Amino acid sequence: MARTIQWGVLGAANIATQRTMPAMLLAPSARLVALASRDAGKGRQVAERFDIPHLHTTYDALLADPAVDAVYVPLPNQLHFEWAIKALEAGKHVLCEKPLCLTAAQVEQLCEVRDRTGLHIEEGLAFRNHPQWAALEQARVQGTLGAVRAAHITLAKQFLDPADIRNDPKAGGGALYDLGVYAISACNLVFKRSPKRVIAALEYDPVLGIDRLSSALLDYGDCHAALTVATQAGPDGWGTHQRLALLGATGWVNFDFPCAHARPHECHLQVGDHLSVGAFPSDVLTFEPVNHYELQVERFSRKLLGDDVPSWPIEDALATLRTLEALFASQRSGGWEAVQ
């Protein structure tokens, strides 16, 4: 069996050219062999930059390329479903940027196509590959934290350009679709299930029409989560403001950079045990900068090669979309909404 997976990329979006495609060059089990760009000039520039042998001017042509094993989909949010379906139907494995789809019904259809074709598809949440999340699991196994009872998570950044696709409600823009996906996914990763019901408070930009400040309570039954995500608050640098605090039955953990690292950056887990006071940790775990986009591509490629590595089914994305839909319903109703 070949020991590399041949990758093709649909489009030359910034997240592709700045994060995932460079990661493909670093991952030992991956080889970037094809690019499709509807802008021929931009496509040539990107292909030359990354030394990509196959350049296509249509997405369909890339999907028909026999050299491609797996396809990365970094297209605008509203196009994820269409091209993930087409890629699976064309016999390609799929790594699709978040949010995987804009509705739960679309994810359900993707699950059906995945099962019928026998191919592998994941939502591109690179943060799940960072070793700090494995360290959290180790802390849970050791019993320092005890059962997690509550989580508080915040993500924020200033996305003020009206032309930014994050500010287009028709394209799946807004704080919940952009940053809320991280927050909900992280909470579900912590609690290992979906919330039963949610209540939300959303504040909308009066001109752009997107939710720019969104807060919510997620009720998991015997544990709770609180989240706030904002696209017109916090810093305007190269990365988002992020914070995740977990309260356990016998301790606590604070993450200072829990989700997407636009650039590799040192991060820490502050751990408090049963003797800690205030917010002063009993221990601090330090993680050197790692490229979790490289880790994601390498792990995904090794999965396709038959190695025993972790993976996350798109049922996780389905749970996230069902939660998002309940949050929007809560904003309309003004009360608690069940997560279907």
User: Which residues are identified as catalytic?
Assistant: 98
Contact of 54 with 81, CB cutoff 8 Å: no
Q: Helix crossing, 80-89 with 104-117: angle to 10°?
A: 10
3 burial level (CB within 10 Å; 0-12, 13-18, 19+):
exposed
Q: How many CA atoms lie within 13 A of 3 on its CB side?
A: 1
Q: What are the backbone angles phi and psi of residue 138, rounded to the nearest 5°?
A: -65, -40
Q: Using DSSP, state whether 334 is helix, strand or coil.
A: coil
What is the distance between the alpha carbons of residues 145 and 73, in angstroms, rounded to a whole number?
Answer: 37
In contact, 91 and 118? CB cutoff 8 Å: no
The residue count of the chain comes to 340
Strands annotated E in the chain: 5-10, 30-36, 54-56, 70-73, 93-97, 121-124, 148-156, 197-204, 211-219, 224-230, 241-248, 252-255, 267-272, 283-287, 337-338
- Selection from 71, 127, 59, 119 nearest residue 96 by Cα: 71
For residue 326, how many C-alpha atoms fall within 13 Å in the half-sphere facing its CB? 23
Assess contact for 77 and 99: CB atoms under 8 A: yes
C-alpha to C-alpha distance for 145 and 251, rounded to whole angstroms = 4
